[in-house]
Amino acid sequence: MLYHLLPQFSDVHIVFNVFRYLTFRAAGAVVTALILAFLLGPGTIRRLRLLRVGQVVRQEGPPTHLGKAGTPTMGGVLIVMAAFTSTLLWAELTNRYTITALSVLVWMGALGFLDDYLKVVRRRPDGLVARYKFLGQGIFGLALGLFLVLHPFWPIPPNWTMVPFLADWYAHFWIPAYVLFVALVVTGTSNAVNFTDGLDGLAAGLTAIAASTFGVFAYLIGRVDTSNYLGLFYLPGSGELSIFAAALAGATLGFLWFNSHPAQVFMGDTGSLALGGAIGVVAILLKAEFLLVIVGGVFVVETLSVILQTGYFKYTARVLGQGRRIFRMAPLHHHFEKLGWSETQVVVRFWILGILFAMVGFSTLKIR
């Protein structure tokens, strides 16, 4: 909004020209989202408490988690509001990258909100039936894939995507396979963040790291000089995604103020599905889906731990007559809690791993 309103006053004073620059607007988006989260946080938490929207704790989980029962959840509405509003203020609103990213944020947030609502308000322990949740994610992902194929944003074929560490190579998908690939990325990323959201501040901190990393990539890919120099696809207009990514990072950091241990509020599926979907769509729009596996390495490992645990348990139950486990508990962060790590130790150490994965992601800019 500010991008459209204020630069026209540059003839009055040259200072209004700064609202044209991505770096200035990205910084503004971070600060705005952060301040909005700070300001809206206390009121949101009070409202959730009045509505008795409390967290339901798994009885088989670590004993230290039992005291979290009743802590307000659905705090993801705070993240979505802060990120959405900040993006509206600072981004170019006629940009298709911006509109698409915001659409995914809202859709996944709404799907997560429905799941949380059924769990904590309607008192349905399983919330939205899993197959319906996957259906909502999958159909939207397929629709997004079809839209990108039929109305491509890029100067390259829509079914191409970059391959990390290889400047002169790219992945070339069969069109139907690419549509399925987009659906897989959106669904997989949103569920990966959902699996990771199990400890105070864990998912929020890791999302801030991933969003900041993709914000830098969006800036580089959106510039013809840096993209050509680094051997990246040049995608005109994609630089606006750095505003969206910055708003995500600011909103999650602001939420972390209230979500750090001991948490005053949890993001719930409202936040985790929205954030996962948002990170996924940024990677898709930047043609950096494979980079997402590196930058979001902790999310990937957490998801694999759930898949391996579930698969192995079912296999041994069928073959041996009794299910066995690989980990003491899945997702992986609970395994380390069962080993005796404190919650804070797990969170901070996983943040460190998240930063290391982000650095590996940045290394792909030069190791090509």
pLDDT at site 153: 86
Give phi and psi for 163, each to the nearest 5.
-115, 120
CB-CB contact of 267 with 76 (8 Å)? yes
Weakly modelled stretches of the chain, pLDDT under 50: 125
pLDDT at site 64: 63
Domain locations along the chain: 19-294
Quick: pLDDT tens for 123-180.
554 556 677 788 889 999 999 999 999 999 899 999 999 999 988 889 999 999 999 9
CB-CB contact of 126 with 270 (8 Å)? no
pLDDT at site 122: 61
pLDDT at site 126: 54
**Using CA atoms, how far apart are residues 160 and 332, in angstroms rounded to an integer?**
33
pTM for this model (two decimals): 0.94
Instruction: Provide long-range contacts, Cβ within 8 A and 24+ apart, for 259-262.
Output: 259/75, 259/200, 259/201, 259/204, 260/200, 260/201, 261/199, 261/200, 261/201, 261/343, 261/344, 261/347, 262/200
CB-side exposure of 194: number of CA atoms within 13 Å? Answer: 26
pLDDT at site 9: 65
Residue 10 tokens read as 């540059």
Quick: pLDDT tens for 218-239.
999 999 999 999 999 999 999 9
pLDDT at site 63: 63
pLDDT at site 2: 81
pLDDT at site 368: 76
**Using CA atoms, how far apart are residues 214 and 253, in angstroms rounded to an integer?**
16
**Using CA atoms, how far apart are residues 173 and 196, in angstroms rounded to an integer?**
30
